[in-house]
C-alpha cells in the first residue's frame, strides 16, 4: 500500500481530514443563526458593465471585490462522516498600498498561510515554515471561483439559478456544471450586497460531498490592524522550486475531459522506494488530476478502484505497466482516463 499512500498524499493535502455524518453536516451548515454578526461595508464598487442577470458578471464581481476591499470571513468546511473544519480568512489593502491576506485553520495544532503582495508564507505542524511566490493563497475554495473565473468557461457552464437567503442575507445562486458530465458539479451562493461568497456545495450527481458555509462576514478597515506588525523581511525565506524538466513520454492519455489540459509531464523517483515513475498532470483550473505510469514488475499493489471523500484513486495493470489516476473527480471518469492510456512510441 506504499504507492497508494504516496499517490494520494498530494490530493489529500488540499482536503480537510475531518468531516460530519450526513445529518450532522446538514444541521451544522444549514442552521446558522440569521443574526450572525456582519458589518456593513462603507462602499462597494460594482463594475460599470455588471449585469445582475449574468452568472459570469457575478463571478467577475466576486473576483474584483476580493482584490479591492478589506474583509474578514469565517467559514466551515464539512464532509459526510467528518468533523467540521473552521477557517478564518482575512484580506486588507494596507496604508502603503500593499495587499495582505491570511488564512488560518482554527482546529488542531494549527495551519496558517500569510500573503504579503506576491509572497505567501506557509506555517504547518512538523514542518519548518517557508515562503513561495504566489499571487493568492490556496485554500478549500477553488481558486478559479474566486480569483480567475475566466478559466472556468472552457470546462464548465455557469447558470444563474435565482435568489436565496444565506446567513440572513439575500444571495444569488449559481450552478456550475461540467460540460461533458465528467466532473463534480457545484452550487455557489454570492451575497447580493457585497458580491462575496456565502456558501459553496460540491455534488456527485445529487449527492452532497462537500459544503463550505460562511458563518461570519465583516467588511471593515479594522482588518488592517491584524497585518500592522507583519513585515516582508520577517517572513520565512522564499523557496525557489526548481522547475521540473518536461520530457517526451512513450505513452499518452487518450481521454481528457473537455476543458482539461496537460499542465505537466515528467519522470521522477518515488520518495518511499526510489523507483522511477512517469507522471502527467491534467487540470481544468478547478480540478487537478494526476496520472502515474510505472513498470508492472515494479507495482506495489493490486488493481484498485475507490473513492474517499470525493477523491478517486484508480490503479490497474495490463501486465506491462501499472496506471494510477488520482483526483477529485468521479470514479467513472478516473477509470475512463486510466483505460485510455496508449503507447505513442512503440519503437523504444
DSSP state of 22: H
- Chain segment 203-230, per-residue pLDDT in tens: 999 899 999 999 999 999 999 999 988 8
Distance of alpha carbon 272 from the chain centroid: 26
Say which CATH topology domain 251-343 has. Phosphorylase Kinase; domain 1 (3.30.200)
Q: Per-residue pLDDT averaged across 154-162, rounded?
A: 96
d(CA 235, CA 65): 27
Query: Is this structure's pTM higher than 0.95?
Result: no
Say which CATH topology domain 32-234 has. outer membrane lipoprotein receptor (LolB), chain A (2.50.20)
- The predicted pLDDT at position 319 comes to 80
Nearest to 45 by CA among 25, 24, 66: 66
- The predicted pLDDT at position 252 comes to 93
- The predicted pLDDT at position 20 comes to 27
* CB burial readout 168-186, b (16+ within 10 A) else e: ebebbbbbbbbeeebbbbb
- pLDDT at residue 167 greater than cutoff 50: yes
Contacts of 318 (CB under 8 A, 6+ apart): 296
Cell 495587499 belongs to which residue?
Answer: 99
Environment class of 325 (CB within 10 Å of its CB; exposed 0-12, middle 13-18, buried 19+): buried
Q: Per-residue pLDDT averaged across 165-174, rounded?
A: 96
CATH topology identical between 32-234 and 251-343: no
What is the domain partition of the chain in residue ranges? 32-234, 251-343
C-alpha pair distances (Å), 17 with each of 38, 47, 75, 116, 179: 29, 38, 16, 28, 29
- Chain segment 224-236, per-residue pLDDT in tens: 999 988 888 889 9
| DSSP per-residue letters across 51-65 | -TT-HHHHHHHHHHH
Q: Per-residue pLDDT averaged across 43-57, rounded?
A: 78
Residue 47: pLDDT band with limits 50, 70, 90: low
- The predicted pLDDT at position 268 comes to 77
Mean pLDDT of the chain: 84
Residue 310: pLDDT band with limits 50, 70, 90: confident
Q: Per-residue pLDDT averaged across 180-190, rounded?
A: 97
d(CA 193, CA 87): 22
| HSE of 93, CA atoms in CB hemisphere, 13 A | 8
Q: Per-residue pLDDT averaged across 319-332, rounded?
A: 92
Least confident of 130-134, 246-250, 288-292: 246-250
- pLDDT at residue 198 greater than cutoff 80: yes
- The predicted pLDDT at position 243 comes to 64
Q: Per-residue pLDDT averaged across 43-67, rounded?
A: 84
Amino acid at each position: 500500500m506504499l504507492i497508494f499512500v504516496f499517490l494520494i498524499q498530494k490530493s489529500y493535502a488540499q482536503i480537510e481530514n475531518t468531516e460530519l455524518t450526513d445529518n450532522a453536516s446538514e444541521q451544522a451548515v444549514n442552521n446558522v443563526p440569521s443574526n450572525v454578526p456582519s458589518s456593513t461595508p462603507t462602499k462597494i464598487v460594482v463594475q460599470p458593465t455588471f449585469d445582475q442577470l449574468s452568472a459570469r458578471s457575478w463571478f467577475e464581481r466576486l473576483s474584483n471585490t476580493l482584490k479591492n476591499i478589506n474583509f474578514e470571513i469565517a467559514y466551515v468546511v464539512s464532509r459526510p462522516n467528518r468533523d467540521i473544519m473552521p477557517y478564518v480568512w482575512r484580506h486588507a489593502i494596507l496604508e502603503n498600498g500593499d495587499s495582505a491576506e491570511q488564512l488560518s485553520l482554527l482546529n488542531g495544532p494549527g495551519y496558517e498561510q500569510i500573503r504579503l503582495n506576491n509572497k505567501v508564507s506557509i506555517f504547518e505542524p512538523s514542518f519548518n515554515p517557508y515562503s513561495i511566490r504566489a499571487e493568492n493563497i490556496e485554500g478549500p475554495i477553488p481558486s478559479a471561483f474566486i480569483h480567475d473565473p475566466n478559466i472556468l468557461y472552457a470546462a464548465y457552464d455557469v447558470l444563474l439559478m435565482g435568489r436565496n437567503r444565506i446567513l440572513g442575507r439575500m444571495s444569488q445562486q449559481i450552478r456550475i456544471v461540467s460540460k461533458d458530465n465528467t466532473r463534480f458539479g457545484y452550487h455557489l451562493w454570492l451575497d447580493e450586497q457585497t458580491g462575496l461568497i456565502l456558501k459553496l456545495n460540491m455534488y456527485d450527481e445529487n449527492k452532497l460531498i462537500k459544503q463550505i458555509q460562511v458563518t461570519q462576514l465583516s467588511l471593515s478597515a479594522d482588518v488592517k490592524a491584524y497585518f500592522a506588525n507583519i513585515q516582508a523581511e520577517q517572513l520565512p525565506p522564499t523557496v525557489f522550486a526548481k522547475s521540473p524538466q518536461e520530457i517526451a513520454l512513450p505513452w499518452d492519455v487518450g481521454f481528457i475531459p473537455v476543458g482539461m489540459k496537460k499542465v505537466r509531464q515528467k519522470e521522477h523517483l518515488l520518495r518511499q522506494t526510489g523507483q522511477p515513475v512517469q507522471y502527467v498532470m491534467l487540470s481544468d483550473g478547478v480540478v487537478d488530476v494526476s496520472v502515474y505510469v510505472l513498470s508492472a514488475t515494479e507495482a506495489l499493489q493490486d488493481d484498485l478502484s475507490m473513492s474517499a471523500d470525493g477523491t478517486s484513486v484508480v490503479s490497474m495493470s495490463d501486465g506491462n505497466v501499472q496506471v494510477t489516476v488520482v483526483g477529485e473527480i468521479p470514479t467513472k471518469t478516473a477509470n475512463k482516463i486510466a483505460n485510455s492510456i496508449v503507447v505513442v512510441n512503440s519503437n523504444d
